[in-house]
Structure formats: C-alpha cells, structure tokens
Amino acid sequence: MDCNFNDRVAVVTGAGNGLGRRYALELAKRGAKVVVNDYGVSPGGTGYTDEYALKVVDEIRSAGGQAVVDCHSVSEESSAQAIIQTALDRFGRIDILINNAGFLRDKSLLKMTVDDFDAILKVHLYGPFFLARAAIPSMRQNAYGRIVMVTSTSGLYGNFGQANYDAAKLGVIGLMHAAKEEGKKYNILVNAVAPVAGSRLGAGLFPQEVMDMLKPEYVAPAVVYLCSDKCNCSGHIITAGGGYFSRDWIAEGEGYYFESKEISDDAFAEKWESITDMTRAHHYDNMMEVGMAWLAKTTAPGKKTV
C-alpha cells in the first residue's frame, strides 16, 4: 500500500529540478500539500530564477495536487525562516521537511578559497540547521514531524576535490543525530538519505548510459518512506541509487583495553591490529550508549580486550 500524506504539509528545498522535483511530485501525488522551494541557482550556485519552482508547482496543480512556490534561499537565517513561514501562512502547519537544496564548488583543497568553502557550508549545512530550527516548533506543537537530511557518500567516505562538500555532508549527519535526540518525545523523526542519482550536479561525472540508470525516480521511494507515518526509525542513513538501497552507519570496533595506564607508544603500536580491527564493530544509537559501553569496557575486572 502506498504511503498516504493526506492533510500533511511538506517543504522540499531545491525542488525545482532533479531529486527535489521528484520528491515534491511523489509527495503531492500521495496527498501532501507541498511548498516547492527553489532559489533557481546554477549548479555552481550563481544566478536566480523562479522558473524551475513554478514549473513544478504547475505540474502538481495540473495533476490535481496542492502546491505553492517559494524562492527564498536556505543559506541565510531570515530567508530560511521565510520558507517555513510560507508553509505556515498557506497551509497552517508543517509536517515534513526535506533538506535537499544544494550546489557544488569543487576544487582541490589547496586551490579552494574560503569563499568556496563557506558558500557550500552555508547551503548544505547551515541551511538544514536554519530550516530545522524554524520548523520544529510547529512540529512539536502537533506532536508530529519527519525531517530528511540529504548527505552524500562523498561526505561519508571522502572524494577528491570536494573538501567543502564532504565537510558539509558529514556535518549534517551530526546535525541529524542531535535533532533525532531532541525530537524523540515529540514524535519528530530525523533521518538522512545519501542519493546516487543522475541529477544536474552529477552531469558530466558519468556516461549517459549510467546516468539513465541513476534516475531520481529510483531514489524517491526511500525518501517517501522516511517522510511517512510508516517510518518509525530515527537517525538512519539510507544510501539509495539505481534501485539499490542500504543502510550506512558509524560503528566502533571491539578495541583493546590496557589494564596498565602506563601505556608506551611501543605498546600502543604492538596492539594496533586489535585496536583497528572492525570484525566485531558495534553501532551506538546515542552518546549515552557510548558512555555506558565505555564504562563497561574500562571497569570490568581483569578484562584486557573489549
């Protein structure tokens, strides 16, 4: 059975093209009222036009759905707040936030300027922070919320020439984890998707036959689910692309415990293989679990390995 979004209000940023457009169309098709946000910049973050957002709103309305255009930037606090205010003014609430907006300024670390670094962090990291902070009060009031952060395998694993993008996309994972903890008692679930898709930002990276395999339509089911009542998880990272879906997570290895606190660098080097072994890695849901596990590892009498 398809997810139902009747009476739900969604804000989708960067919804004028590619992945964001597909998310907006899929939510609207299932009954959501959608704020189609797009500042209309180029893939490099320059220019402005409302053309893309207007086209998507027309598509939704032509199919019988409800949507409104918003062309504020996500990268400044006041304009990000205005995006959420559009939802509140037009539809009275906000239930779903998809932080999809973004562009690229790829350069090697040594050639990257501070402006290049700052511009990417503003849209990919500060934007989700501004938007979440503006949306959560309404979500708390209604005891319901679904927030989807957009990360990237580049941020999770690293990519040459994308220090700014990688830093921002791993940063939103930390933001997700904090928001997940703070949203628990209000039924606000916060997850992330790492899409692999043939969008404008990926143009030129893959041959056309590969781009055809990586349509936004093949990512959208994960995002639709994470936005729905069916979803009961929070803090998950879902990689999606080409019909393939998986969960990524941050894990800690079994490690090695030195009973003697007089640890020499030679002793550390000797146990390097045990310290870095990930065959029995464990994932923790929050910092409290990490702390409890650390106490268990370091206070168990006579326990040399953990």
Residue 1 pLDDT greater than 60, yes or no: no
pLDDT-derived band of residue 262, with 50, 70 and 90 as boundaries?
A: confident
Residue in this structure with the two tokens 């320059």, named with its chain if needed: 46
User: What integer pLDDT is reported at residue 58 of this predicted model?
Assistant: 98
Cα angle: 300, vertex 305, 306; to 5 degrees: 70
Which residues carry out catalysis? Answer: 165
Q: What number is the average pLDDT over the span 21-41?
A: 94
User: What integer pLDDT is reported at residue 217 of this predicted model?
Assistant: 93
**Separation CA 99–CA 13 (nearest Å):** 6
Q: Read off the tokens for 141.
A: 């009031």
Q: Cβ(207)–Cβ(126) under 8 Å?
A: no
The answer to whether residues 167 and 64 belong to one domain is: yes
**Separation CA 120–CA 130 (nearest Å):** 15
Residues 6 or more apart whose Cβ sits within 8 Å of residue 45: 103, 104, 105, 119, 123
The answer to whether residues 175 and 118 belong to one domain is: yes
- Give the Å distances, CA to CA, from 91 to 9, 50, 67: 7, 21, 10
Lowest mean pLDDT across 103-117, 196-210, 233-247, 256-270: 196-210
Residue 46 pLDDT greater than 90, yes or no: no
User: How many other CB atoms sit within 10 Å of the CB of residue 182?
Assistant: 14
User: What integer pLDDT is reported at residue 145 of this predicted model?
Assistant: 98
Structural domain includes residue 2: no
pLDDT digits (tens, 9 = 90+) for 70-122: 999 999 999 999 999 999 999 999 999 999 999 999 999 999 999 999 999 99
Q: Which amino acid is at 151?
A: T
The answer to whether residues 67 and 116 belong to one domain is: yes
Residues 6 or more apart whose Cβ sits within 8 Å of residue 156: 169, 170, 173, 194, 237, 248
Structural domain includes residue 192: yes
**Separation CA 181–CA 235 (nearest Å):** 9
Domain ranges, residue 293? 251-299
Structural domain includes residue 306: no
The answer to whether residues 145 and 282 belong to one domain is: no
The answer to whether residues 149 and 78 belong to one domain is: yes
Number of folded domains that form the chain: 2
Structural domain includes residue 67: yes
pLDDT-derived band of residue 44, with 50, 70 and 90 as boundaries?
A: low
CATH code of the domain covering residue 29: 3.40.50.720
Residue 305 pLDDT greater than 50, yes or no: no
Lowest mean pLDDT across 27-36, 37-46, 78-87, 270-279: 37-46
**Separation CA 74–CA 59 (nearest Å):** 23
The answer to whether residues 141 and 285 belong to one domain is: no
pLDDT-derived band of residue 306, with 50, 70 and 90 as boundaries?
A: very low
**Separation CA 175–CA 173 (nearest Å):** 5
The answer to whether residues 71 and 188 belong to one domain is: yes
CATH code of the domain covering residue 257: 1.10.287
The answer to whether residues 47 and 189 belong to one domain is: yes
